[in-house]
Chains A and B, each alone.
Chain A
Amino acid sequence: EDQWSPMNPEGKKQYNRDFLLQFQQDCKDKPEGLPHIPDIVLDKADIRPPSF
C-alpha cells in the first residue's frame, strides 16, 4: 500500500515485521554514544534473527 520509500517520501511510515527484519543483517556498526554498561551494551554486533 502507500508505504514510505526513498521514491515515496510522503508514504506511511508503517512497516510490518517481515519488512523490518530484512534490515537486521546490514546494521553492524555500533551506534555512537552508547553508555558503558558492561554485559548489556556489546562492543561487537551480535546478530540474532528470531528463531521461527
Chain B
Amino acid sequence: TETQSQAVLSPEEVIKHPLQNKWALWFFKNDKAKSWADNLRIITAFDTVEGFWALFNHIQSASKLQSGCDYSLFKDGIKPMWEDGKNKPGGRWLVNLGRTKPQDVDRFWLESLLFLIGESCDDEGELVNGGVINVRGKGNKIAIWTGNYKKEEGILKIGKGFKEVLHLPAKTLISYEAHADTMSKTGSMAKSRYSV
C-alpha cells in the first residue's frame, strides 16, 4: 500500500531507470524426454534497471545450474537460437571458461549481463542481440551474440568491449564464430571469423 512516507522519496528513488532496450531472460534445461523447443522457457522481460535487479535477485545463480542448462538474455523479440531472423546472419563472441570457480562463473555472467543492458557498446548497440551462458560439466561457455557478422568494425568493437568487462588478459584470445559456419562445420571447431 502507498504509505505516507512514499511522498518524501527523492525522484531518484521513485522513478525507475529506463534501459535503452527491453530484454527477455530465457532458461533452457536439457530434459531428454522433451523436445529442444519445449525445454526452452522465457522467464520474463524487463526494460528498467530496477526490473533487471528484481529479476536477477530472484533467480538461481548460474554456477548452481545443472550441467546442460543455459541462461540467455536477448533483446525482446529475438529468440535465443541461431534460427531467429536476427541471429541467422550473425554469430557470437565465445569465451570458454573451462572449469573456473563458481564465483568466477557468476561474476563473468553478471558482468556480461551488465555489459548488455548497460549498452556498453553504445554506437554498436544495434549489432548486439544478446548473451548466453552454457553450463556444462566439461567447461562453461559465455557468448555474446550479434547480428550481421560481415560488419567487421562493429563486431570487433563489441569483442574488445566484452573482453574488457570480463577483465580477460590481453594474451587470452576470444574468437568469433559465424552461425553459418558453426552449422556447416565438419570438425568440432568452426573456423573463427575474428579474434581479439
- Our verdict on whether A and B bind, yes or no, reads yes
Q: How many residues of B contact A (CB 8 A)?
A: 42
B118:A46 contact, CB within 8 angstroms: no
A31:B46 contact, CB within 8 angstroms: yes
Near B by CB (< 8 A), chain A positions 18-52 give: 19-21, 23-24, 26-31, 33-35, 37, 39-48, 50-52
B66 to chain A, nearest CB (A): 9
Q: How many residues of A contact B (CB 8 A)?
A: 38
Chain A residues with CB under 8 Å of chain B are 4-7, 12-17, 19-21, 23-24, 26-31, 33-35, 37, 39-48, 50-52
| 25 A-B pairs in the complex with CB atoms less than 8 angstroms apart | A6-B15, A12-B122, A14-B118, A14-B122, A15-B117, A15-B119, A16-B118, A17-B115, A19-B118, A24-B56, A24-B57, A28-B57, A31-B46, A33-B44, A35-B42, A39-B60, A41-B43, A41-B59, A42-B58, A43-B58, A47-B57, A48-B57, A50-B110, A51-B107, A52-B107
